[in-house]
Amino acid sequence: MAQITSLEEFYTVTRTAGNSESRPKQQILGLGLRKLGITFNGSNLFNYETLSDTWASEFMLPSEEELVSAGTLALDDIDNEAYKRLRANEYPDIREYLDGIVKGDQAQIQAYIDACQAVKAKYPKGA
């Protein structure tokens, strides 16, 4: 669970993998609200106290603990999806595969498949 202090600008959050890290309160609160599906236009996310003072949403403001918990889960979600962005940057150009198909070049097709498999191995799902 997160250490909650009103005078510090950071939360220390413990992630699913068991590691702890410091993150800006503003980031955790914003991620927590988004994870809970709550809009927060016009609210100051500096810390929970300023958020509470400037709360302008039609929804009831969740507790600080609920927001920190949801924000931590959102960080885990982001990490779990990172492999997609990393893979996209390294996959070979699809035109190489299509060119191999058009030419009937099995070696070129296999080289493309091997390159894709290497990227998948380098960035496995959920790692």
For strand 10-14 and strand 20-24, is the pairing parallel, antiparallel, or unpaired? antiparallel
Tokens 């959102």 belong to residue:
74
CA distance 127 to 120: 11
Q: Residue 103 has which token pair? A: 């030419």
Position 2 scores a pLDDT of: 56
Give domain limits for the chain. 1-82, 91-127
pTM for this model (two decimals): 0.62
Band the pLDDT of 14: cuts 50, 70, 90: confident
CB atoms within 10 A of CB 48: 21
Band the pLDDT of 83: cuts 50, 70, 90: confident
Three-class DSSP category at 23: strand
